[in-house]
């Protein structure tokens, strides 16, 4: 078996071997869904960087439902004891900028970044300034940028290197930064309620990574980020909050994270 095939069978989350759980087709090409022992799933083979850029440089998003979705996200975030509507927020993968507008209206200074030219153009046309939305990734941020909050909403499932984006986010966080993440989970309340068979049948091609709650929690922990809260949302994935920790806190943080994860799975089983 050559190295390319072996790489396709290794989890990009954990580096562990995987097994096939489903198959899908897109534009005449066959893909498999593979999953590691922590429950993290991904599409194999991955779409190429060129294919993804071609997809996201078109207006792939719709304004329909964006305002309601952003309002719901803020409503959920406001439940966090680690969020006060003041300070500076970074929205990674800001898309058409709806969440930025909602955060501004709540009283925050905002900055959004996105790799999609179409998304940035749409965000600027919505009234956001060139200083509030930037084309590119974390490397495009001004030097020594500091943020009170970082938002990663509906992004992680789209990127080729999920570990790298978590590592990069951790590198710009301070002990005073709170990270809020929303992504797709096949083992959360919503994923379990619709059933795994239907979940993968409805799988959208551009969603190339779908972690488990446990898998994402421990991927963050390996990068010095402690899961703090998990907020359930109806008909959507939950929003997670996390903070940066130092090495001396790791053992206690791991114990706390394990308890949160076990409690969440117990709640899901009882639904």
Nearest of 89, 132, 90, 137 to residue 114 by alpha carbon: 137
pLDDT tens digits for 13-71? Answer: 888 899 998 887 777 778 888 999 998 988 888 877 787 777 676 665 555 556 788 88
| CATH code where residue 172 lies | 3.40.50.150
Dmax over Cα atoms in the chain, in whole Å?
56
Which H/E stretch holds residue 258? helix 250-270
**Residue 109: inside a domain:** yes
Cβ density class 45-57: b for 16+ within 10 Å, e for less: ebbeeeebeeebe
Domain that holds residue 138: 47-270
Is position 147 within any domain? yes
Segment 238-264, tens digit of pLDDT: 999 999 999 899 999 999 999 999 999
Our count of domains for the chain comes to: 1
Structural domain contains residue 40: no
From the number of C-beta atoms within 10 Å of its C-beta (0-12, 13-18, 19+), residue 234 rates as exposed
Least confident of 101-105, 192-196, 223-227: 192-196
Is 199 part of any domain?
yes
Helical H segments across 24-161, by residue range? 49-56, 66-77, 98-106, 117-125
Q: How far is CA 27 from CA 8, 31, 140, in A?
A: 20, 11, 33
Token pair of 198 as six digits = 């239907």
DSSP reduced 3-state for 58: coil
44-58, 106-120, 168-182, range with the lowest pLDDT: 44-58
Angle at which helices 162-172 and 213-222 pack, to 10 degrees? 50
Q: Is residue 32, in this structure, part of any structural domain at all? A: no
As a whole number, mean pLDDT of residues 128-144 equals: 94
The answer to whether residue 139 sits within a structural domain is yes
Predicted confidence at residue 5, as pLDDT, reads: 44
What per-residue confidence (pLDDT) applies to 63?
Answer: 55
**Higher pLDDT among residues 135 and 42, named by residue:** 135
Q: Is residue 67 part of a domain?
A: yes
Per-residue pLDDT at 132: 97
How long a stretch of residues is the chain?
271
18 in a structural domain: no
């Amino acid at each position: 078996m050559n190295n390319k095939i072996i790489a396709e069978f290794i989890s990009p989350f954990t580096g562990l071997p995987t097994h096939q759980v489903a198959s899908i087709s897109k534009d005449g090409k066959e893909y498999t869904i593979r999953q590691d022992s922590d429950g993290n799933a991904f599409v194999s083979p991955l779409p190429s960087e060129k294919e993804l850029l071609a997809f996201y440089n078109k207006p792939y998003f719709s304004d329909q439902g964006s305002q309601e979705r952003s309002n719901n996200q803020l409503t959920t975030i406001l439940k966090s004891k680690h969020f006060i509507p003041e300070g500076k927020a970074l929205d990674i993968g800001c898309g058409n900028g709806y969440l930025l507008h909602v955060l501004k209206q709540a009283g925050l200074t905002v900055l959004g970044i996105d790799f999609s030219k179409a998304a940035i153009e749409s965000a600027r046309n919505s009234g956001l300034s060139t200083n509030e939305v930037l084309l590119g990734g974390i490397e495009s941020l001004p030097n020594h940028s500091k943020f009170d909050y970082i938002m990663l909403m509906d992004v992680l499932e789209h990127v080729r290197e999920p570990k790298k984006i978590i590592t990069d986010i951790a590198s710009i966080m301070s002990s005073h930064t709170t990270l809020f993440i929303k992504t797709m989970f096949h083992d959360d309340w919503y994923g379990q309620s619709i059933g795994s068979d239907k979940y993968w049948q409805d799988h959208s091609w551009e969603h190339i990574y779908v972690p488990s709650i446990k898998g994402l929690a421990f991927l963050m922990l390996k990068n010095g980020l402690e899961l703090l809260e998990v907020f359930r949302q109806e008909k959507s994935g939950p929003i997670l909050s996390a903070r940066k920790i130092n090495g001396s806190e790791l053992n206690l943080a791991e114990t706390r994270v394990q308890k949160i994860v076990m409690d969440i799975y117990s709640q899901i089983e009882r639904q």
